[in-house]
Copies of this chain bind each other. A is one copy, B any other.
Amino acid sequence: MDCYLAVDIGGTQLRVALYPTEGITPLERHSISTRPEQGNVLGRLKDLIAGIWPNGSKIRRIGIGVAGPVNPQSGILYNAPNIPEWRNLSIRHEIEGVFETPVVIGNDANLATLGEWRYGAGQGHHDVLYFTISTGIGGGIILHDRIVTGHRGIAAELGHVTVLPGGPMCGCGQRGHLESVSSGPAIARYVSERIAAGRTSSLTLVTPISASDVAEAARQGDPLCIEAFDFAGRMLGQALANYLAILNPSLIILGGGVTKAGPLLFDPMWAALRASVMSPEYLEGLQITTAVLGDEVGLIGALALARLE
């Protein structure tokens, strides 16, 4: 029987799974901790793949998703924020060299987009934007039924656009990016900074505040915490209005832990989007929905890439 092998390289976990030629139910699935501080991540990844390699089946292609900027044409990973020892690493060459099987590779957010489009919330659409809103804000773009990677493979950094010039510092070193105002840490920081400045809240600074703490307190009616999501949602809505004018998609998929806040985030997002959109024509036929593949999206995205033509 022919199979596909999917690999998801994250900062916390290395995961591999074996899939048949149809469907998204794995035949087998292994994972280990990434432990970048232990070194030799590449060696342990190769062992993990060897461990799942089937006897008597042919692997048609290996699909690999990795957190970090990667060039899909050359197969070179420029760097991996969570695996410092990997710089300008030709993952494709390394894996093809050992397993003598074609390897395709992509950035994790791009592959999540591909996964949701082929097997999740995006099925049947041709022009799709995907946002993952969690510790950071990543994204992916499908246009004319094709993932947009750009000239050097680093397109679709949808969280790294300026929405508030001079605003909060972003993880990338710039100020006022969407990630700096609408990600989980940004929401938590919004509340922490204001408590530190004397605002009252049901939350305290005794232990570090997380975005899910803020969501829980907002649901209990805490005004500061409601305000924090209102701000994050409005900034997101304003950014979406820009993305509609640029790319005119029929679907926007929102994934990542912060979207679990639901209406706390989505109500102000929709209000700002409706108020900011250049013309109501961009909202005609537009759907905004949440991601459906959950934690499996990394593997399923890598599978979707492996199965592409």
Contact = CB atoms under 8 A, between A and B. Distances in A.
Shortest Cβ-Cβ A-B pairs, 8 listed: A150-B248, A155-B248, A151-B250, A161-B242, A157-B245, A160-B278, A160-B245, A127-B151
Nearest to A150: B248
A305 B250 CA distance: 24
Interface of A: 69, 78, 126-127, 141, 143-144, 146, 148-158, 160-165, 172, 174, 177, 238, 241-243, 245-250, 276, 278-279, 281-282, 284-286
A148 B142 CA distance: 11
Q: How many copies does the complex hold?
A: 2
A256 to B, nearest CB: 18
Which has the most chain B C-beta neighbours within 10 Å: A174, A177, A241, A243?
A174
Given A162-B163, A162-B238, A162-B241, A151 B278 contact: no
A122 to B, nearest CB: 13
9 contacts: A69-B281, A141-B246, A143-B148, A148-B247, A150-B248, A151-B286, A160-B278, A172-B278, A243-B246
A137 to B, nearest CB: 11
Contacts of A161: 242, 245-246
Contacts of A152: 248, 250, 281, 284-285
A244 to B, nearest CB: 9
B153 A242 contact: no
